[in-house]
Structure 1
Amino acid sequence: MLTFTFLGTSSGVPTRHRNVSGLAVQSAAGAGWLLVDVGEGTQQRLLQTRLSLHDLEAICITHVHGDHCYGLPGLLASAGMAGRKRPLTLIAPRPVWDWLAATRACTDLHLPYEVAHVDVAAAPSPVWTASGLRVDAHALRHRVPSYAYRVETVAQRIQLDVNALHAAGLPPGPMWKALQSGEDVSCDGRVLHSAAFTTRTTQRACAVIGGDNAEPALLREACEGAQLLVHEATYTQSILDKVGPGPMHSAAGQVATFAQSAGLPNLVLTHFSARYQAAAGLAELEAEARAQYTTGALWLANDLDVFELDAAGVLSRRTLTQRVAATPFHP
């Protein structure tokens, strides 16, 4: 029901294999999609996917730091040069909008479409609804105002009772489709009511996507009923203790401890410091998280990983080349 394409998983600076922050979110409702953060180089990563800037509905920026927004003007310009005319919504703290306005003025950037700003600090909930998605914002703790976005999709599934239709003497055809659409139909002098031949079920999927954050527990309310948390794990605890409170980031163990206490069935870590780019460093982050998070599925995201969350809360991962990635950890 929800698909997540990671366009950048590095913290602060890009590395040889990881870009800085960017995450595309799609629902099964249509081609429209949502982009959370636009670090420098995001549009190059998008060229390696099937996502189109024409179908981009909204951009959510978690905070004003450059590794989360420096790619925004270029991406908007490229969309305009590709012929985009549809309006676009930018959900972001006010400083992001002010910076974008200054950049547009100083670089003579004229867009052939409207960009509407939603000030995430002042907007009521939900901050955005479209393309089968509802988005709510939740404040975090960082050096500048930072936010998490809770993304939820709900769909109604209508299933025909085939046995009952055959028993009623109604052969497959247009009337079946009408009944499934909620319409009553007339057949041989009888009125067949849709409610008598269909079963309606509600399916939902919900994920919380965090920005930079020194206090994962601030997301407890946001994570109620969620099936997935995507959160930064910039450091291990030992490195966080060395760098001190100044950067205001989370350690992998902190996030995992919170996810365990919140009963989250899936946890995806991202936003890794460049010091962990080698396999040994990533293994250290993973080991610290696994020690605290023992009841759900844990993943460390890579650039261009695609995660799919179904209505049952099951998260699966594949790459853009359709290769099946490693099996997640389960207790």
Structure 2
Amino acid sequence: MLDLCLLGTSGMMPLPGRALTALMARFGGSSLLIDCGEGTQVAIRERGWSFHPIDTICFTHYHGDHISGLPGLLLSMGNAERKEPVTLIGPRGLQKVVESLLVIAQGLPFELQYIELTDKEQDLECNGYHLHAFRVNHNVTCYGYTIEIPRGGRFFPERAKEQGIPVQYWNRLQHGETVESPEGIYTPDMVLGAPRKGLKVTYCTDTRPTAGLTKNASMSDLLICEGMYGDKEKKAKAVENKHMMFLEAAQMAKEAEVKELWLTHYSPSLLYPQNYMREVCKIFPNAVAGKDGMSCTLEFED
């Protein structure tokens, strides 16, 4: 079970009722944050969630509307008596950027660990999440992220019994561990079926449409994607500043065959995103104009 909350949907600057960009995910007692716009810790509080269990914070890029909330969030986490390390992930230069911001947030009671992305695509394992970072097309180095929760095969106790595997090893085998024991070597494939479908969420802001985004979002349960502009007249501006139109995001969702699309990262000039959804849904029917605090729970298929 994966909980998701779109904490903020505004790009460039916050507006009344529209906070800056951030997404929070919860799985297995661990929380992960992607982007941290100004006031993110307030948005977390308003949602009724806690920032104490945030173990990992990912950044798409280092424009202010995606990272300016970090000092305040880390201070709030410290004041909530967090002691465990926090892992920060982002493009090259991450540590330098964060240490500059921390001039106003010194004396944190926990360690910060840095993972700087250097490849065009990169895989990471974090607290049960499989993260795949992939570079997109913005006017600075910028990454999208795919969050995957893998799911192993079904455990068959009858197979274990038939092969005389002692019960004390079943749990370890069920969790994918090979067991070496006095009785012999037992491997997970002896008691598990084929891997089952897991969960997949793709998050991307600040980019033009790219083949890499379509590929990495393929078959996602949810694509959360930038929709900077709805007006067709804004297309030239979107191309110039390397942002995405509503209709372009819908086309990418269609090509990637995702289950659902949430639009986010709206221009401050776009006051009523819902006004453009009729045309969006003609291209991709299962599309939603994201709102601050929008949340969902994704569950494994039976």
Q: TM-score range by the shorter chain?
A: 0.7 to 0.9
Contiguous gaps of at least 5 residues in structure 1: 165-174, 184-193, 314-331
Displacement after TM superposition at 1:180 (Å): 7.3
Hey, what's the Cα distance between the residues in 1 that align with 2:295 and 2:203? 15
Cα distance in 1 between the residues matched to 2:100 and 2:193: 54
Give distance in 2, aligned partners of 1:196 and 1:138: 36
Q: Of residues 52, 55, 62 in structure 2, which corresponds to 1:64?
A: 62
Query: Equivalent of 2:287, from 286, 298, 310?
Result: 298
Distance 2:250 2:238 in 1: 20
* Corresponding position of 1:111: 108
Partner of 1:310: 299
For 2:198 and 2:111, the matched residues in 1 are separated by 31
TM-score scaled by length of structure 2: 0.83
Work out whether residues 134 and 152 of structure 1, in 8 Å CA contact, stay in contact via their aligned partners in 2. Answer: yes
Letter in 1 for 2:132: D
CA contact (8 A) 2:223 2:260 kept: yes
Contact 1:41 1:71 in 2 (8 A): yes
Is the aligned partner of 1:273 residue 2:267?
A: yes
Q: CA RMSD in A?
A: 3.0
1:7/1:24 contact within 8 Å kept: yes
1:243 to 237, 241, 262: 237
Extract unaligned runs of 5+ from structure 2.
Answer: 159-165, 175-187
Deviation at 1:275, TM superposition (A): 2.5
| CA positional deviation for 1:95 | 3.9
Deviations 1:137-174 (A, max 9, x none): 1101111111100110013364678xx8xxxxxxxxxx
CA–CA distance in structure 1, aligned partners of residues 149 and 45 of structure 2: 26
State how 1:12-161 maps to structure 2 within 5 Å: 12-27=12-27, 30-105=28-103, 107=104, 109-122=106-119, 125-126=122-123, 128-156=124-152, 158=154
CA contact (8 A) 1:63 1:93 kept: yes
Q: Summarize the alignment of residues 245-260 of structure 1 with structure 2, pairs less than 5 Å apart.
A: 245-260=239-254
1:45 to partner: Cα distance: 0.8
- Over alpha carbons, which structure has the higher Rg? 1
Matched, 1:288 2:286: no
- Normalised to the residue count of structure 1, the TM-score between the two structures is 0.76
How many residues of Structure 1 are paired with residues of Structure 2 in the alignment?
A: 284
User: 1:212: how far off?
Assistant: 0.9
Say which SS state the counterpart of residue 220 (structure 1) adopts.
Answer: helix
Shift of 1:229: 1.2
* Shift in alpha-carbon separation, 1:205–1:241, aligned structure 2, 3 A: same
Aligned residue in 1 for 2:179: none
SS in 1 for 2:35: strand
Shift of 1:104: 2.1
Cα distance between partner residues in 1 of 2:106 and 2:36? 18
Distance 1:15 1:67, change over 3 A: same
Aligned 8 A contact 1:93 1:121 in 2? yes
- One-letter amino acid of the structure 1 residue matched with residue 139 of structure 2: R
Q: Deviations over 1:68-105 (max 9, x none)?
A: 10001111122122211111110012344322212323
- Paired letter, 1:213: T
Which secondary structure does the structure 2 equivalent of 1:283 belong to?
helix
Aligned to 1:227: 221
CA distance in 2, matches of 1:198, 1:141: 41
Q: Which residue of 2 aligns with 1:168?
A: none
1:210 to partner: Cα distance: 0.5
Return the offset for 1:261.
1.9
Distance 2:122 2:287 in 1: 29
Aligned in 2, Cα 1:73/1:123: closer, same or farther, shift over 3 Å?
farther
Helix, strand or coil at the partner of 2:254: helix
- Secondary structure of 2:207's aligned partner: coil
The question of whether the paired residues in 1 share the 8 Å contact of 2:11 and 2:268 is answered with: yes
SS at match of 1:275: coil
Q: CA deviation at 1:123?
A: 8.8
The residue number in structure 2 matching 1:320 is none
- CA drift of 1:241 comes to 2.6
Give the 3 Å change call, closer, same or farther, for CA 245–195 of structure 1 in structure 2: closer
Cα distance change on mapping 1:14 and 1:124 into 2, 3 Å: closer
